[in-house]
Structure formats: structure tokens, C-alpha cells
């Protein structure tokens, strides 16, 4: 097996740099709460941690699952036309009527707990509702997990699907999704690939037939030796399975990674779409590579199939193009890139990459400081110029090889 060093070079030969532009930032998330005392009574901002973003033409959608008690609304938005580094109040989407769980009314026809969403080419927001509340503390499944699709032009629910019990596990926790419309002829004729993080596996939804099934592989499970995470001076433990997902339409490949691992894997979409696997049938999984530390966020640039990822310990954004082996470190910031929860290729923003960081380790350890900036939504902005000097700004820059500690070079890609 040939091994290639990932993160270890090529930046100095690149003619493009990337800088992080902070779109919005908060010490703690602030909500435009309705005139309802019950929402205010239950709101606990120190427990509110976002996990996902999606970029629309005029909005930024923000997913806030009910990891702990005190989350007013699980699906929200802010306008895109904001001054940089502003701290806007979150608006519930599509309205506060859908978020009665925020005041203690657990209505399964409404939104319960959403980790991530995706927009399709028909301008509809596909939402996976996990149906689980207080998942960090006592893991309470209160409603069956479901798909809810909203037309963002009308803000109306246009499609819904509740997962049947036979594809679920007692601890199923749906946290991420991919929309595959490669062969679609209508807005609904799509496949969804959905991560089950706590009952490790992938759920496949066939939009043409309203069928769903589960595929499982040992690589989707957490590795106990990688369940301890280090970010700066903080450490925490979390035994999470598959959560990071990315998709290459051109290669017909889904990339995935558990949180508790240093490995990145892939599986062909043909295998996922083939229906429920027969007993004993093995999923054709490929080991893509080994990273220097664990990570959550994954993305693929559909223009050239470059994979973007973020090793947590290194507080960096890295890119690797598997066909050419071009490798780059796009950004590094011990302050701003603590726990990258989402990397999104934004079709509705000229193909720029957007990031969300949360300092999740601080929330998890109940050590969040409300005087610090803990949550950021950022955009990677390319600058076309020769890299005569490595420094782009005091915190965020594209670094030369010699700028990085030696543990950055423990990333390998094997094929």
C-alpha cells in the first residue's frame, strides 16, 4: 500500500491563499423569543450548542439539537446580509409554532431535535429530526425520527417521512445527511444517506419509493482508543460513531468518519442504493486515509472532488485532492477553529466554503465562558496572489510547511 503524507507540504508551492472571514459570532446563542413566558422560563443559553449550518440565498440556517435541556428552537435562521462579526438573534424556522418542545410540549408532529439540514436544487430544506432530547445527559428518545422537507420560498412543509421501527435501533441518533440527486428526474426522486451516530450505521432513504433501509460496517463504530479528544488545554471523552459525511457525485462515493477514530472511509453509492444487504453480505468499504487526530466535519468540492476536513487537535482546515494528491492547509487558528462542527460547500455563494465552530468541548465540560466568543460562522475566502509571506493575519493564515508542529505530519492517505 502506497502512503502519501497529508497536510505536509504543497502549501508553499500554491498560488492561492485562504483567509477566514467571520460572518457571525456569539459568546452564547441569542434567540428572538416569542411573547410566551414558558419559552423564557426554560431557556438555558449555556446549554445551547449549534451543530450544523446551511447556506440559502438570503438566509443562513442553523441547527441546534437538544443536547441538553433549555434549547428554545432546534431549527433557526439568520439573514445573510449582516455586518461582518455581528451577533444576530436567531429566528425560529419556519415559525415558533413548530418548536413547542422549547417550552416542554413534546408534539411529535412538530420539530424535536435537528442536528443538520441540506438544501436541494429545488430550493427545499431537507431536515432530519432525530426525535431525541437531552442526548448528552440521559438520551431520551421521545418521538420517532423523521424527514421533514420545507419549501424555503413558502416556508411550508411539503413532504414528510417517518422511519419504520425495523430500520432503527434502541439508541438510534440521526445526525447528518447527504442528498444524492445524481440520477433524479424530479425534486423528490433522490436518495438520502443519513448517519446514525449512537446506533452506528447509515440509513438510506429512497425518495422515489418512500423506502428506507440500514447498512452497517465495523468502520462506522467508534474506536475506544480514540474516544478522548484534545483541543488546546481541554480534553473530553465521547464514544461517538459515524457522523462526518461527504459526497462526490462524480466519483459516486460517500466519505464518512466516526468521531472516535483517526480514519476516513468511503463506500460507493451503488452499494448503498442496492437495497437492504443480504445476511452476511459485506459492504465494499475502502480505507481512504489516516488523520493526525479525530474530526467531525467533512466536505467535498464538487468542482474537483477535493476533500476538506478538520483534525480537532490541530485546529486547522485541510484539503486533499485524491486524483492529483494536491495537499493544502487552508486555515489554522487555535482561537477560531476550536471544534469545527460543519464545513459546507455553498452553491448559493459562488462555491465558497463555510464553516461553523462551537467550542463544543467547553459546553460539554460545562466550562463555557460567556465573556468569550465561543460560536462562529465563517467563510473561507480565496485570495489570488503569490505567497511571498506566510502571514495573512494575526490569527488565520495559510502556513508554510515549517510553521507546523511535527504532529501535523502524521496524516497519511493510503490506496
Range in 58-72, 233-247, 383-397 the model is least confident about: 383-397
Nearest Cα to Cα of residue 340 among 286, 383, 290, 380: 380
Q: Which pLDDT belongs to residue 324? A: 84
pLDDT of residue 209 exceeding 60, the answer is: yes
Average pLDDT, the chain: 90
Q: Are 294 and 229 in contact (CB under 8 A)?
A: yes
DSSP assignment of 19-72: EEEEEEEESS--B---S-HHHHHH--GGG----EEEE-SSEEEEE---SSS--S
Q: Which pLDDT belongs to residue 383? A: 64
Q: Which pLDDT belongs to residue 384? A: 52
**Which pTM does this prediction carry?**
0.91
Enclosing H/E stretch for 370: none
360 three-state secondary structure: helix
Using one digit for the tens of pLDDT, what is the confidence trace for 325-370? Answer: 888 999 999 999 999 999 999 999 999 999 999 999 999 999 999 9
Using one digit for the tens of pLDDT, what is the confidence trace for 83-130? Answer: 999 999 999 999 999 999 999 999 999 999 999 999 999 999 999 999
Using one digit for the tens of pLDDT, what is the confidence trace for 131-142? Answer: 999 999 999 999
pLDDT, average across residues 39-43: 95
Using one digit for the tens of pLDDT, what is the confidence trace for 7-30? Answer: 433 333 233 457 899 999 999 999
pLDDT, average across residues 380-397: 46
pLDDT, average across residues 253-267: 97
Q: Which pLDDT belongs to residue 19? A: 86
Angle at 240 between CA 235 and CA 244, to 5 degrees: 100
Q: Residue 33: CB partners within 8 Å, gap ≥ 6?
A: 39, 40, 43, 72
Give the residue ranges of DSSP H helices in 70-190.
none
pLDDT, average across residues 377-387: 72
Buried b (16+ CB within 10 A) or exposed e, 261-280: bbbbbbbbbebbbeeebeee
Q: Which pLDDT belongs to residue 321? A: 87
Q: Which pLDDT belongs to residue 382? A: 78
pLDDT, average across residues 159-172: 98
pLDDT of residue 394 exceeding 90, the answer is: no
Assign 3-class secondary structure to 223-254.
CHHHCEEEECCEEEECCCCEEEEEEECCCCEE
Q: Which pLDDT belongs to residue 326? A: 85
Q: Which pLDDT belongs to residue 370? A: 97
CA-CA distance, 176 to 194, in Å (whole number)? 6
Q: Is the peptide bond before 94 cis (omega within 30 degrees of 0)?
A: yes
Sign of the torsion angle spanned by Cα atoms 100, 81, 27, 308 = positive
Amino acid at each position: 500500500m502506497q502512503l502519501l503524507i497529508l497536510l505536509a507540504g504543497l502549501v508553499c508551492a500554491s498560488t492561492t491563499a485562504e483567509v477566514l472571514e467571520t460572518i457571525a459570532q456569539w459568546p452564547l446563542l441569542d434567540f428572538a423569543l416569542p411573547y410566551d413566558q414558558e419559552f423564557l422560563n426554560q431557556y438555558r443559553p449555556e446549554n445551547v450548542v449549534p451543530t450544523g449550518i446551511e447556506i440559502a440565498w438570503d438566509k443562513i440556517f442553523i441547527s441546534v439539537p437538544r443536547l441538553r435541556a433549555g434549547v428554545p428552537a432546534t431549527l433557526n435562521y439568520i439573514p445573510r446580509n449582516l455586518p461582518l462579526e455581528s451577533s444576530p438573534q436567531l429566528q425560529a424556522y419556519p415559525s415558533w409554532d413548530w418548536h413547542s418542545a422549547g417550552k416542554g410540549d413534546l408534539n411529535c408532529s412538530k420539530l424535536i431535535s435537528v442536528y443538520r439540514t441540506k438544501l436541494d436544487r429545488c430550493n427545499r430544506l431537507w431536515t432530519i429530526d432525530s426525535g431525541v432530547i437531552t442526548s448528552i445527559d440521559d438520551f431520551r428518545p421521545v418521538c420517532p425520527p423523521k424527514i421533514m422537507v420545507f419549501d424555503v420560498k413558502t416556508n411550508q412543509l411539503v413532504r414528510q417521512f417517518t422511519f419504520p421501527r425495523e430500520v432503527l435501533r434502541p439508541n438510534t441518533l440521526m445526525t447528518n445527511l447527504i442528498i444524492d440527486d445524481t440520477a433524479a428526474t424530479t425534486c423528490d426522486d433522490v436518495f438520502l444517506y443519513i448517519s446514525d451516530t449512537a446506533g452506528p450505521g447509515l440509513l438510506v432513504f429512497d425518495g422515489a419509493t418512500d423506502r428506507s433501509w440500514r447498512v452497517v460496517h465495523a468502520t462506522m463504530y467508534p474506536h475506544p482508543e480514540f474516544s478522548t479528544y484534545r483541543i488546546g488545554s481541554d480534553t473530553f471523552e465521547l464514544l461517538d460513531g459515524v457522523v462526518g459525511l461527504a459526497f462526490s457525485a462524480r466519483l459516486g462515493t460517500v466519505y464518512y468518519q466516526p468521531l472516535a477514530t483517526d480514519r476516513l472511509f468511503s463506500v460507493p453509492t451503488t452499494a448503498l442504493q442496492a437495497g437492504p444487504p443480504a445476511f452476511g453480505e459485506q459492504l465494499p468499504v475502502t480505507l481512504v486515509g489516516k488523520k493526525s487526530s479525530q474530526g467531525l466535519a467533512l466536505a467535498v468540492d464538487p468542482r474537483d472532488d477535493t476533500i476538506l476536513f478538520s483534525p480537532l487537535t490541530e485546529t486547522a482546515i485541510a484539503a486533499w485532492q485524491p486524483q492529483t494528491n494536491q495537499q493544502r492547509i487552508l486555515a489554522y487558528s487555535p482561537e477560531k477553529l476550536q471544534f469545527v462542527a460543519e464545513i459546507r460547500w455553498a452553491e448559493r455563494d459562488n462555491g465558497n466554503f463555510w464553516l461553523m465552530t462551537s467550542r463544543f468541548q467547553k459546553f460539554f465540560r460545562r466550562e463555557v465562558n460567556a465573556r468569550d466568543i465561543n460560536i462562529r460562522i465563517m467563510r473561507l475566502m480565496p485570495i489570488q496572489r503569490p505567497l511571498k509571506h506566510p502571514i495573512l493575519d494575526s490569527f488565520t493564515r495559510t502556513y508554510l510547511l515549517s510553521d507546523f508542529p511535527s504532529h501535523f505530519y502524521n496524516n497519511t492517505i493510503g490506496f
